[in-house]
Structure 1
Amino acid sequence: MEKTIKEQLTELADPEYRQFSAALIPNIGNILGVRLPELRKLAKKIAKSDWRAYLAQAENEFFEETMLQGMVIGYAKADIEEILRYVADFVPKIDNWSVCDSFCSGLKFAKTNKRRVWDFLQPYLASENEYDVRFGVVMLLQYYMDEEHIHSVLGLLDRVKHEGYYAKMAVAWALSICYVKFPEPTMAYLNNNTLDDVTYNKALQKITESYRVDQKTKTLIRSMKRK
């Protein structure tokens, strides 16, 4: 008899990795300790079989069970509207930065469906839920850091007004990527924005941490900090 997904995950669990992961994701306590390459391998296998049946009955007792569902959605082959329905069902299950960011990096269909996914993301950016907002922002930084979208992205990031720490940090992270890739429009934005002080200063800090920004520029960026 074939093992259940939970049994397979339990067998893949590594106690040392569990401790490492638990320290990185402070707000959850249901980690088994399965490494990401193992999860991806399992997700690819499920995506090649009856992934719809799997998603219909998948459990969320453990962190890895939720992470796995997100990966399967990323690997699954179906038309864009069907996949986006699964994405919409999954987003409310996100309750930590790790599942959020991993899920976003797997949604590679966004590259070939930019306009449709852009429209799909708009409600998330204005949501009252912290991880809805983070999902929207991380999708922008993963798939819309290009010439065509940079000004629109900066405008959207400026309109994010969520008080949640992980929403603010996502905006700061996204702005640092904007700066590295498009320094001129991003600098103009940093000189004229409606960001709260925490997000603004964190964005500056993340820019100065980038190895792709020269020392002279880092000094200038540090001088822009709000007191």
Structure 2
Amino acid sequence: MTQDQSPITARLLALQDPGYQAFQSKLIPTLPPQRVIGVRTPILRQLARSLAGSPEAEEFCRALPHTYYEENNLHAFLLEREKDFDAALAGVEAFLPYVDNWATCDSMSPPVFRREKARLLPAIRRWLASDQTYTVRYGIGMLMQHFLDEDFCPEYPALVAAVQSEEYYIQMMIAWYFATALAKQPEAVWPYLAEGRLSPWVHNKTIQKACESRRITPGQKAALRALRRPGRGDAAR
């Protein structure tokens, strides 16, 4: 362990799987490979369980920014262990500015958020208005995860459609949101595609993702394909 390396970081480095490191690095092109240690997610979650609530974990979470991808994921998994809504929300909001990749962003979902959805909404609105890519992506993901079933409101897809960004990882999440919403709330969401309310790239990517879903019927898929708009599907990359 180097002088400025925390005990937790040293434990992560000792758990390195070189083959997995090479595989994982290819999945996260926004990160330099040297920032990926190569520790499998079940091992990280097990470590989070063993560390949760300890002074060591609290010190680790205060020491931002982290260097390694796995440090960020461990931080996210520690936040998921928090049972108090206010503490979990404060922890997420302190951490979001340092989230720098799609995988960490999409991995962080404190269960306590499900039990306090009304209190979560103001935070989601703040996140959607952020100028940080992964904060916006996280807000869309929380709307998709928590507000497409019994707590759905037609206002929510409108909030997502109003997000204006050329960032690939935001546009992909918007498409993912609308493809999922088509399966769960088709009557409310269909007009966004039928009336061309989304940008061409997001529109076409939504159709692609919806047509790949088993939750969309063959008839719906045929109707969706007829709505495809001309243009390169990867224009936003």
TM-score normalised by L of structure 1:
0.92
- Give structure 1 regions of 4+ aligned residues with deviation exceeding 4 angstroms: none
Aligned residue in 2 for 1:43: 48
Alignment equivalent of 2:174, drawn from 156, 160, 171:
171
1:165 and 1:98 map into 2 onto residues whose CA distance is: 14
What is the aligned length? 222
- Counterpart of 1:222, as a letter, is R
User: What is the deviation of 1:158?
Assistant: 1.2
Contact 1:133 1:167 in 2 (8 A): yes
- Counterpart of 1:163, as a letter, is E
Q: Quick one: structure 1 residues 118 and 193, their matched pair in 2 at CA, closer, same or farther if it must change by over 3 Å?
A: farther
Aligned residue in 1 for 2:36: 31
Alignment equivalent of 2:21, drawn from 18, 21, 25:
18
- Percent identity among equivalent residues? 33
Q: Confirm whether residue 71 of structure 1 aligns to residue 77 of structure 2.
A: yes
SS at match of 1:157: helix
Contact 1:133 1:162 in 2 (8 A): no
Q: Kindly report the root-mean-square deviation, in angstroms, between the aligned alpha carbons of the 2 structures.
A: 1.6
Q: Confirm whether residue 61 of structure 1 aligns to residue 67 of structure 2.
A: yes
1:206 and 1:59 map into 2 onto residues whose CA distance is: 34
Contact 2:16 2:39 in 1 (8 A): yes
Aligned residue in 2 for 1:86: 91
1:53 and 1:20 map into 2 onto residues whose CA distance is: 30
What are the ranges of 5 or more consecutive residues in structure 2 without an aligned counterpart?
A: 1-5, 231-237
Alignment equivalent of 1:214, drawn from 213, 217, 220:
217
- The structure with the largest helix share of the pair is 1
2:223 and 2:39 map into 1 onto residues whose CA distance is: 43
Aligned residue in 1 for 2:233: none
User: What is the deviation of 1:193?
Assistant: 5.2
In the TM superposition, what whole-angstrom CA distance separates every residue of 1:103-133 from its partner, at most 9, and x where no partner exists?
1xx3211110101111111011122221111
Aligned residue in 2 for 1:110: 113
Contact 1:125 1:137 in 2 (8 A): yes
